């Protein structure tokens, strides 16, 4: 049950909100919609574009931004302009929630501190882990130093999983770390959405196992593992088909290197849930996730999962129960685990059932209610 004396006004700062339909944007839009349903007014500050693909919730105050270098689909906030600062001050929020520790997030924090407003943050993207995929791994320790310093000014940092909490503690983050999990629409993502017609249209027989990968096609998702493992599966001679759903700058190179893989492009809504359920196993080698949203969607759809042994997956995948965890760079390990599941009908069925059962524990209303109760607890101490 939601406690009384909840905040009446919340200001949210984020680097992703409506200009790209990624996991961060969709989660934060869901949060704003939930808060407004509870009678809480929300003001969102962040970058945007002329024709945003996401119909956002709440009132958005745009801030100046530019396209991210090499990644034009993302925006980088430049600063917190004076007119937007005044809107924040006039709004007089009970709580400032900063989702991205970028330039906007840093300047917003200083304004909030100077105005005596309580600040919390949430950990959505492990930016430090991205650096190695773009040749800047040497900068990772410096970025961690900044994050440790930054989060000390926050009354709490919300993290998506206990494993992510443990990793941040090991890194030296000594802020009050609280779990804000993620949820899944268990009615939308469901094994009953499986379609023989969907498989037939793509040349996948019922006797074959369809191994699925869903993601933005960007290199920090460890696409090298997909190229290697899917290539092996495609040439194994086993009754296996490989499927990729998603789009991004690495699409063409992946198509070239995986000519036998079925590339479907980006899917949303019912088309996406049908695709999940119509496949048989999910591979997700990314080690940069703070929470495996697509992993949870695959589980809700009744798919066993073979995923990277990383913080974003360890709380979802129970080795030997609903799938396996493999070192992100162990391509042999991924291939062996996938073959083990696809070749053992009883094991596949058992893991599929357990995946679904585990996913049912992640109910969005409960997840949001828990965060709102944490808001109350923090404000009661302020």
**pLDDT tens digit sequence for 94-130:** 999 999 999 999 999 999 999 999 999 999 877 666 6
| CATH class for the region spanning 191-359 | alpha beta
- CATH 3.40.50.2000 domain extents, the chain: 9-183+363-381, 191-359
Which position has the higher pLDDT, 134 or 221? 221
| Statement: residue 281 has pLDDT above 90 | yes
Encode burial over 177-195: b for 16+ CB neighbours within 10 A, e otherwise.
bbbbbbbbebeebbeebbe
Q: Which residue has the tokens 């070192």?
A: 327
pLDDT for 130 equals 64
pLDDT for 3 equals 47
* 21-25, 224-228, 252-256, 273-277: segment of lowest average pLDDT: 21-25
| Statement: residue 131 has pLDDT above 80 | no
| Statement: residue 1 has pLDDT above 70 | no
270's tokens:
């019912």
Check: pTM over 0.85? Answer yes or no.
no
Q: Which residues contact 92 (CB under 8 A, 6 or more apart)?
A: 9
Distance, C-alpha 147 to centroid of its chain: 19
In this prediction, residues 208-221 reach a mean pLDDT of 94
46's tokens:
């962040």
Q: How confident is the model at residue 381 (pLDDT cuts 50, 70, 90)?
A: confident
Share the mean pLDDT of the chain: 93
| Statement: residue 2 has pLDDT above 80 | no
Q: How confident is the model at residue 134 (pLDDT cuts 50, 70, 90)?
A: low
**pLDDT tens digits, 242-280:** 999 999 999 999 999 999 999 999 998 999 999 999 999
pLDDT for 128 equals 66
In this prediction, residues 37-61 reach a mean pLDDT of 94
In this prediction, residues 206-232 reach a mean pLDDT of 96
**Please, how many CA atoms are within 13 Å of residue 373, restricted to the half-sphere of its CB?**
12
As a residue count, the chain comes to 382
Q: How confident is the model at residue 140 (pLDDT cuts 50, 70, 90)?
A: confident
In this prediction, residues 219-223 reach a mean pLDDT of 93
| Superfamily of 9-183+363-381 according to CATH | Glycogen Phosphorylase B; (3.40.50.2000)
pLDDT for 38 equals 95
Comparing C-alpha atoms, which of 375, 356, 362, 338 is closest to residue 7? Answer: 375
pLDDT for 325 equals 97
């Amino acid at each position: 049950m939601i406690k009384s004396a909840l905040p009446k006004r919340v200001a949210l700062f984020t680097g992703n909100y409506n200009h790209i339909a990624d996991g961060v944007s969709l989660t934060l839009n869901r949060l704003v919609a939930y808060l407004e349903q509870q009678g809480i007014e929300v003001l969102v500050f962040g970058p945007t574009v002329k024709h945003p693909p996401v119909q956002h919730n709440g009132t958005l105050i745009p801030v100046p931004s530019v396209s991210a270098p090499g990644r034009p689909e993302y925006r980088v906030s430049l600063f917190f302009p004076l007119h937007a600062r005044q809107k924040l001050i006039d709004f007089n929020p009970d709580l400032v929630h900063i989702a991205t520790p970028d330039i906007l997030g840093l300047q917003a924090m200083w304004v909030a501190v100077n105005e005596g407003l309580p600040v919390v943050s949430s950990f959505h993207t492990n930016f430090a882990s991205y650096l190695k995929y773009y040749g800047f791994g040497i900068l990772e320790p410096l970025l961690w130093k900044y994050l440790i310093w930054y989060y000390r000014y926050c009354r709490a940092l919300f993290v998506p999983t206990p494993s992510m909490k443990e990793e941040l503690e090991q890194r030296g983050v000594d802020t009050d770390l609280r779990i804000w999990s993620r949820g899944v629409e268990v009615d939308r993502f469901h094994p009953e959405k499986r379609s023989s017609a969907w498989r037939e249209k793509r040349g996948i027989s019922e006797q074959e196992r369809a191994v699925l990968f869903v993601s933005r096609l960007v290199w920090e998702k460890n696409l090298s593992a997909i190229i290697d493992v899917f290539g092996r599966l495609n040439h194994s001679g086993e009754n296996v088909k490989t499927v990729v759903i998603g789009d991004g700058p690495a699409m063409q190179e992946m198509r070239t290197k995986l000519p036998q893989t079925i590339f479907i492009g980006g899917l949303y809504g019912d088309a996406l849930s049908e695709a999940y359920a119509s496949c048989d196993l999910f591979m997700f080698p990314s080690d940069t996730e703070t929470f495996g949203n697509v992993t949870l969607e695959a589980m809700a759809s009744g798919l066993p999962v073979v995923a990277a042994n990383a913080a974003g997956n360890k709380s979802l995948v129970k080795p030997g129960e609903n799938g396996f965890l493999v070192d992100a760079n162990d391509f042999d390990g991924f291939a062996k685990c996938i073959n083990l599941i696809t070749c053992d009908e009883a094991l596949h069925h058992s893991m599929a059932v357990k995946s679904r059962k585990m996913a049912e524990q992640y109910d969005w209303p409960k997840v949001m209610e828990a965060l709102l109760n944490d808001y109350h607890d923090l404000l009661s101490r302020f």
